[in-house]
Amino acid sequence: MAKMMGPRFKQCRRLGLNVCGHPKAMNRATKGTARNDKKLSDYGTQLLEKQRLRAYYGVMEKQFANYFEKASKSRELTGHALINLLECRLDNLVYRLGFANSIRQARQMVVHGHFLVNGKKVDIPSFNVSVGDEIKLREKSQKNVMFKENFESNILNVLPYLSKDEANFSGVLQRYPERTEVPIEINEVLVVDKALETIGKKWYSRENKTVLMAEKL
């Protein structure tokens, strides 16, 4: 399973944004430590925004490219569709429901088989949760003090597109979120522009390679 590694707080300071959700993540941030403290080109600004979005959800470059491809085929605005796909990952919703204190912790919990989706064990962090799906902490895992405290301490922090059942240690994705409801500070237009530019370069490279091969023949 591919995953993003490295010190979380250092990554937040480098990106100039608290992408891990920890309240102390930016405590040691000083002017000059973040990439956006320096004047960036349009390309640099787009790249930084894409890296921030990837860091929010903890996805690798190849995974991100696959999500973008799916989003670009959606009838919705590509940026909104992209964020919805990322937001509906199982590890992210475990985090949003309050079972974990971070995406990383949520991913570990999923991989270790602590959750059921509609009554069936799912241990794939990237599993796509659909509207109406129930995410539930396994009965055996409900005895874990940390998991229990996490969920109960966050019981009142419910996003509009989710519902939580305290008694059953579960939650349901009620609907896909509106863009303004997703708690991330990202300009998805810049992310889409960067991705389209990258795709264009790859297409141009492939076309040139095809032409060169044809000329050799």
User: Average pLDDT for residues 116-128, to the nearest whole number?
Assistant: 97
At residue 178, the pLDDT reads: 95
Does the pLDDT of residue 172 top 80, yes or no?
Answer: yes
Which among 187, 159, 156, 188 has a CA at the least distance from the CA of 175? 159
Rounded to whole angstroms, what are the CA distances from 209 to 7, 65, 154, 214, 215? 40, 22, 54, 9, 10
CA dist., res. 211 & res. 214, Å (int): 5
At residue 42, the pLDDT reads: 87
Contact 164, 97 (CB under 8 A): yes
Rounded to whole angstroms, what are the CA distances from 165 to 72, 159, 172, 204? 35, 13, 9, 51
Q: How many CB atoms lie within 10 A of CB 77?
A: 14
At residue 212, the pLDDT reads: 42
| Residue 76 forms part of a structural domain | yes
Contact 4, 55 (CB under 8 A): yes
Contact 148, 168 (CB under 8 A): no
Domain of 142, CATH number, reads 3.10.290.10
Q: What are the residues facing 163 on neighbouring strands?
A: 172
The answer on 26 and 80 residing in a single domain is yes
10-23 pLDDT, tens digit each: 777 777 777 776 66
Domain of 27, CATH number, reads 1.10.1050.10
| Residue 170 forms part of a structural domain | yes
Does the pLDDT of residue 116 top 80, yes or no?
Answer: yes
At residue 204, the pLDDT reads: 44
3-state secondary structure 141-171: HHHCHHHHHHHHHCCCCCCCCEEEECCCCEE
Q: What are the residues facing 92 on neighbouring strands?
A: none
Rounded to whole angstroms, what are the CA distances from 92 to 69, 183, 206? 20, 12, 35
The answer on 170 and 104 residing in a single domain is yes
| Residue 2 forms part of a structural domain | no
Which among 12, 10, 173, 20 has a CA at the least distance from the CA of 103? 20
Q: How many CB atoms lie within 10 A of CB 75?
A: 5
133-163 pLDDT, tens digit each: 999 999 999 999 999 999 988 887 889 999 9
At residue 171, the pLDDT reads: 96
Domain that holds residue 149: 89-175
In the chain, the number of structural domains is 2
* Sequence-ordered list of residues with C-beta below 8 angstroms from that of 183, at least 6 positions apart, any chain: 159
| Residue 40 forms part of a structural domain | yes
The answer on 119 and 72 residing in a single domain is no
Contact 3, 61 (CB under 8 A): no
